[in-house]
Structure 1
Amino acid sequence: MRRIYFLCTGNSCRSQMAEGFAKRILGPDWQVASAGVEVHGVNPLAVQVMAEAQAPITGQTSKLIDPDYLRQCAVVVTLCGNARDRCPRLPAGVRQLHWPLPDPAQATGTSTERLAAFRAVRDDLQQRIEALAITLNGADTL
């Protein structure tokens, strides 16, 4: 089984949402996980917006990067510069992608404005993972 890893700073928003979509979109041939260079806990707004998209992440937990899992990955996707810069060295043959997305947890303003920031990142991730699935699995996966 091929493995994919989504990494960000705190494993609280972006990587959690990516994991949720990838589990649904990539299919049974992929083992999907996410982690961070730190552990910040799963952000409740990320849980809320993913439930809206029918890709629930309620059972997921914030985790540190597992070097053993990382070494066995076919694909590693970093979602911020901090994760890219602090990610352990990858073995040859691991496909590394970098999607520098804004951290929705840093959004300010009203609750409506903050939710909009989470939804924008969520929607961007969904589009990117759908495109990645076509590349990795072929068009019939979607």
Structure 2
Amino acid sequence: MKNVLVLCTGNSCRSQMAHGYLNHFQNNLANIYSAGIETHGLNPGAVAIMKEDGVDISQHTSNHVDEYEGIEWDYIITVCDHAKEHCPYIPSKKARRLHQNFSDPSKVHGSEKEIHEAFEATRDAIKEYCHDFVKEELMD
């Protein structure tokens, strides 16, 4: 079983969405974990936008990357530039490190509609990335 870590700054939004989709698309091909270089709690907007697409992440927790010390990673995926630039060293003999920056919808200010659209756009981009990752990396 492969081990996949999805990493972002606060493990509240983008990494949680990716965690949800990776679990959704793969069928017992990997253990999926998400973490942050900080912990900000689960973002309610992320939970709501994922629920709209039939993926429940409401029971996820916001975890710090140090909580997973000792796991041998096959993949470490950073989903924001800040995490990539500030991530502590994660020792791994074999981890393939991937990076894809997704916009942070929690930073959008505006009307309820504008905020919803930002969460939806980020969710859809993450969904596509995770679908392709599972197909190209886990199902080979």
Shorter-chain TM-score category? over 0.9
Percent identity of equivalent pairs: 33
Counterpart CA distance in 2 for 1:97 and 1:57 is: 23
Match of residue 89 from structure 2: 89
Give unpaired runs (5+ residues) of structure 1: none
Counterpart CA distance in 1 for 2:82 and 2:130 is: 21
Match of residue 113 from structure 1: 114
Counterpart CA distance in 1 for 2:139 and 2:27 is: 11
- Residues 75, 94 of structure 1: 8 Å contact kept: yes
Give CA deviations for 1:92-140 in whole Å, capped at 9, x if unaligned. 321011111111100110011101101111000110011111112337x
- Residues 16, 57 of structure 1: 8 Å contact kept: yes
Counterpart CA distance in 2 for 1:113 and 1:26 is: 31
- Runs of 4+ that moved beyond 3 A: none
Give CA deviations for 1:20-39 in whole Å, capped at 9, x if unaligned. 00111122121001111111
Give unpaired runs (5+ residues) of structure 2: none
Normalising by structure 2, what TM-score?
0.92
- Residues 49, 119 of structure 1: 8 Å contact kept: yes
Match of residue 29 from structure 1: 29
| Cα drift, residue 67 of structure 1 | 4.5
Match of residue 5 from structure 1: 5
Match of residue 130 from structure 2: 129
Counterpart CA distance in 2 for 1:43 and 1:138 is: 30
Q: Number of matched residues?
A: 138
